[in-house]
Amino acid sequence: VELKNHPFFIGTQFHPELKSRPTSPHPLFVGLIKATMK
């Protein structure tokens, strides 16, 4: 899934929150945080 001209958009069919830990977040969450800091 792609939205041109949108700063951050990802569609997934899984739950990355189930793969995250407080000291080791899933890369999708890291990318989201980095995008919001721009």
What's the number of domains the chain is made of? 1
What does pTM read for this prediction?
A: 0.61
Owning domain of residue 18: 1-38
Q: Which of 7, 19, 12, 3 is nearest to 27 (CA)?
A: 19
Residue 1: the pLDDT is 64
CA–CA dist 23, 38 (Å, integer): 22
In tens, the pLDDT along 1-37 reads 678 888 778 778 888 888 899 899 999 889 888 988 9
